[in-house]
């Protein structure tokens, strides 16, 4: 594994650990979702790096996924929702995190699991 790929994966793992710790706290669902998004973003950038490409300086999961869809398959509806949460979480004046409103504990757990599975899958195909 290339050192740059390993480094992206290490950073993704840190975000996953943060999401897990915050998930246990219970009242920080939006922050869990933020770290889940960051985990997926860094995982996708690791995969882009493993293809010999430079990861773009973007947080757009849909765009990043488009660069690796030939290597990995992720649930695109969940990816799109997680992408939306990241953008909205950075600008709290716009309260529409999800069409239903702010993410709750169930949303946070689902996004955490999605991020965990994405990271696991990326690790497998990057070896």
* Ranges of each domain in the chain: 3-126
Q: Are 97 and 84 in contact (CB under 8 A)?
A: yes
Q: Whole-angstrom Cα distance, residue 108 to residue 25? A: 12
Q: Are 2 and 127 in contact (CB under 8 A)?
A: no
pTM beyond 0.85: the answer is yes
Fold for domain 3-126?
1.20.120
Residue % of the chain over a pLDDT of 70: 87
pLDDT tens-place string over residues 48-76 = 999 999 999 999 999 999 999 999 999 99
The b-or-e profile of 44-71 (16+ CB within 10 A means b, else e) is: bbbbbbbeeeebeeeeebeebbebbeee
């Amino acid at each position: 594994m290339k050192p740059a790929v390993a480094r992206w994966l290490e950073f993704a793992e840190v975000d996953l650990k943060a999401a897990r710790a915050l998930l246990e706290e219970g009242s920080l669902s939006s922050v869990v979702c933020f770290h889940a998004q960051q985990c997926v973003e860094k995982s996708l950038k690791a995969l882009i790096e493993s293809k010999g490409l430079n990861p773009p300086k973007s947080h757009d999961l849909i765009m990043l996924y488009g660069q690796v869809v030939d290597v990995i398959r992720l649930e695109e509806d969940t990816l799109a929702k997680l992408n939306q949460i990241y953008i909205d979480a950075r600008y709290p004046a716009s309260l529409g995190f999800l069409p239903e409103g702010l993410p709750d504990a169930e949303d946070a757990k689902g996004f955490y699991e999605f991020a965990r599975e994405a990271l696991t899958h990326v690790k497998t195909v990057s070896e």
